[in-house]
Structure 1
Amino acid sequence: MSRRPILWGVLIGLLLAVLFAPWTGTALGRLAKARAARASAAAALAAPTSLSALLKPELAFAGTNAAAAIRARIERLAQGGGVLVEAVAPIAAPPPLVMVQLRVSGPEKAVLALADAIERERPLLRFRSWRVAPAEGGGVRLSGVLVGAMR
C-alpha cells in the first residue's frame, strides 16, 4: 500500500475537523453550562432550608417556653370543661416548631369540646395525630400530639 491514500485520508480528516470545530465548540460550551447549572442546583438542594417563617408572628408562641404556655392553656381549658389532664409532655421537634404529647380523659362531650377549643384559640395549635378511645368509668380518653410554632 502506498502512502498517498493515507495522506489523503489524513488531510480530509483534518479538513472535516476544522469545518466542524465551531459546532463542536458550541456543544462543549453548552455542556459546560449545563454541568455548572446542575452542580449549583445540587448544591441548592443540599443546603439546609430555613423554617423561620412558618406562620405570621401573631399565630406563633412567643419565646422559648412555648411548651409551658401550651401546658398552661390545656390545663386552663380542661379545668373549665371538667376534663382530667393525665399527661402533657414536650416532644423533640425542629427549632421553629414545638410539639407536645397530650392525654386527657373525661365525658365524651367535654373531651371533644376541649379538643375543639385547643385548636380554635390563638396562638395556633393543631393536632398532628390523635386517638379517642373508651376509658374506664364511661368516659373517653383523647391522646395525641399537638404541634405549634415559636417566634
Structure 2
Amino acid sequence: MRLHAAIAVLVLTCLAATGARAQCAFDQSVPNANEVLTETQPEVTIDFTDEFRLDDVRVVSLDDKAEWPTNWARPAEEVRQTAFRMTKPLPPGKYLVEWNGYLRRHHHADGGSIAFTVAKSGDIPPATPAVAEPKAAARRSGSGSPYPMLLGAAGRPKDQ
C-alpha cells in the first residue's frame, strides 16, 4: 500500500512540475548580429524587452581579445535601451558587444553578445544581392494525396 502511495505521489509530482524557462531581456540591436559595418566608430544601440539593470557593456575584438574603450556609462536606474560609441576607431576585424545585468521582473541575471564585423573599405559587400531570375513554383501534390486537408485550398481541385 505504501509503495502504491509513493508511486502515486511521484507520478503526480512529475506531472505537476514544470520546467524552468529562461526569460531573455534582449530585444534588438544596432548593429544587428553578424552585420558588416563600414563605420569605424559605430553607434551601438541595444533594446531590451523589459526594464533591465544593466551592469556592464564592453566591446571585445575577436581577433586579439582586446577590449575597446567606449563612452558607455552605467545607468543609475533600470533601462529599456542603452546606446554608446567607441572612443577610438576600430580597425577592420570581428568584434563582439557583450552585455550583462539583472532582470528583476524574472529574478535572474541575464546577458548576451552581438557579433559584428568592421570591413576594410574595399571589402564591403553590396547592400542588396543581385536580383535572381524567379524560378517556377514547385508542383503540389495532386488530389490523390491521402491527406488532402494538409494541402489547403490550393491543393484541392475545384470539382471536389
What TM-score comes out, normalization by structure 1 length? Answer: 0.31
Which structure has the highest strand share of the two? 2
Which structure has the highest helix share of the two? 1
What TM-score comes out, normalization by structure 2 length? Answer: 0.29
